[in-house]
Amino acid sequence: MMILFKIVRLMPCFFKEVTHLYCPACGGTRAVIALMHLDVKRALFCNPTVVYGAVIVLWCIIWIAARQLFQIKIKILKPGLWMLITGIIIFLGFALIRNMAVYQFGYDYLGDLI
C-alpha cells in the first residue's frame, strides 16, 4: 500500500503544473494518510473534503446497520442530497480559500507552491 502512495506522490498534478494554483483535490492523498494515522487536524489542513467524506461514509454505515439490525427506517439518519451539496461546497470553497491564502497572504500549508 505504501508503494502505491509513493508512486502517486511522484505523479505531477496537471492542474497545478498548468495554472500554478492548487486544484480542489490537492492534499487529498496527504489527508488520507493523516487519517490513517488518526491525525484529524492535519487531515483537515491538507484537505477537509477527505475528512467530510469519511464522516459521510461512517454516517451511511451507521444508517445501513441501524436499518438492518432494527428493521426500521430512521429518517433522521437517511442520507440526503444536502450531503452531496455540502461536500461540493467544501470541495470548491476550500480550493478558493487555500489559493487565496497562498497568493494574497503568502501562507502555503502544503509547501508546494511557495
Mean pLDDT, each 10-residue run in order, the chain (114 residues): 69 80 87 94 94 93 85 76 93 92 85 73
Ranges of H-type helices in the chain:
2-10, 14-19, 28-36, 40-46, 48-70, 81-105
Please tell me the predicted confidence (pLDDT) of residue 51: 96
pTM of the model: 0.79
Please tell me the predicted confidence (pLDDT) of residue 1: 62
Please tell me the predicted confidence (pLDDT) of residue 5: 66
CA pair distance 3, 42, nearest whole angstrom: 22
Grouping H, G, I as helix, E, B as strand and the rest as coil, residue 63 is helix
Q: DSSP for 72-89, please give it.
A: ---GGGS--HHHHHHHHH
CA pair distance 66, 62, nearest whole angstrom: 6
pLDDT digits (tens, 9 = 90+) for 51-65: 999 999 998 888 888
